[in-house]
Structure 1
Amino acid sequence: MTRAESTEVGSQVMTVPNGLSAIRLLLVPVFLILLAQGSDALALIVLAFSSLTDFLDGFIARRFHLVTRLGQLLDPAADRLYIFAALIGLAWRDLVPWWIVLLVVGRDVFLLVLGIILANFGFGPLPVHTLGKVATFCLFYALPMIMLGQAFPDLAWWSQPVGWAFALWGVFLYWWAGIIYATETMRVIRIPRVIVPVQSDTLES
């Protein structure tokens, strides 16, 4: 999940948390290939390793004050890529419907459009809403549960219903958070901006 915000955000690049996030990103294609080939157990191991490093890089960054701007980009990027890779891989094998993939990807495209609108009005990205974090957690928890039932059929009787419950709630909350972001974007861009006149130091003759 997204690394917790810190009052001090550094500009370092070579840190342990950033290294862990980079490893997670490099393992995304490995995870997708394993999933596409039907190696569900190995793909699940890669996903579990990713979840562990996700927890570790956030813990280390907060504990040792190593939160960086690069890390704030890499960490959520890795989360999104794993969600997209798992959804696309499972949909490719007809294990999840493609409409779920379109809803999740469509929501992130929707947020990208909102970000462009904000930038055009001179504003930065909106802060992450708690509902968005909950939605991401639901999706991040749902996909391994669905994969677990595929890798180990004896566990499917409970892992599949749990996985689908979290998946459906995750998609619903994902878009609910998106609507909140859209409402907040409309509110922000309507705030009148105060233009401070620049005073010249040159004296008129």
Structure 2
Amino acid sequence: MLRLALVPVFLVLLIQGEDAWALLVLAVASFTDFLDGFLARRFSQITRLGQLLDPAADRLYIFAALLGLASRDLVPWWIVLVVVGRDIFLLGLGVILANFGFGPLPVHLLGKVATFCLFYALPMIMLGEAFPAVAWWSMPVGWAFGLWGAFLYWWAGIIYAIETARVIRLPRVNPALRSDTLED
């Protein structure tokens, strides 16, 4: 919950150009994410709510970072559209799966790698803005991870689309239609 509460704080700091403070908030959020996951696994306290909120918080931080950086013309808006567009695409796949009676697909490793790349890229770009002395290396590294992450994000999205198409074509047995349950 702390991570979710810090998203608007992070976004406001980022929009106002307080990059060092925004990085600090992001570091606190990242540490609490790590700690929460570690403790949940260590003490077998994994909940469905946690499984839903954790990736939601991750997405919100990516969106907030992209929006904050784009609003200051530090990243182009097309990057925002590429990343947000992919998540809208996956939302559509989720609706299709639900309409066929399926829950969300398991997370693919490529999707995790793409998210990691974006999680690494955006703070690196922010780091270069907050501390110009390190911009000579943090900006190119940030952009390399950002572009690679956006590409992998869509590649994973295509894999999810292929898997969605495969899953919805699976034959489903409706218990109400089985011959041994029908009344004469």
Same fold by TM (over 0.5)?
yes
Alignment map for 1:6-155 (pairs within 5 Å) = 22-155=1-134
Deviations 1:174-195 (A, max 9, x none): 0000000000111111111123
Aligned residue in 2 for 1:5: none
Pairwise CA distance, 1:36: 0.6
Name the amino acid aligned to 2:28. F
Aligned residue in 2 for 1:19: none
Q: TM (normalized to structure 1)?
A: 0.86
Aligned length: 181
Distance in 2 separating the partners of 1:141 and 1:51 = 11
Pairwise CA distance, 1:27: 0.4
Gaps of 5+ in 2: none
Q: TM (normalized to structure 2)?
A: 0.95
Pairwise CA distance, 1:172: 0.3
- Which protein has the bigger helix share? 2
Higher mean C-alpha deviation, range 172-181 or range 46-55? 46-55
Distance in 1 separating the partners of 2:51 and 2:132 = 37
Distance in 1 separating the partners of 2:84 and 2:95 = 17
Deviations 1:119-151 (A, max 9, x none): 111111110000000000000011110000000
Gaps of 5+ in 1: 1-21
Secondary structure class of the residue paired with 1:67: coil
Distance in 2 separating the partners of 1:195 and 1:116 = 20
Pairwise CA distance, 1:54: 1.1
The reply to whether residue 186 of structure 1 matches residue 165 of structure 2 is yes
Q: CA RMSD in A?
A: 1.2
Distance in 2 separating the partners of 1:166 and 1:57 = 26
Aligned residue in 1 for 2:181: 199
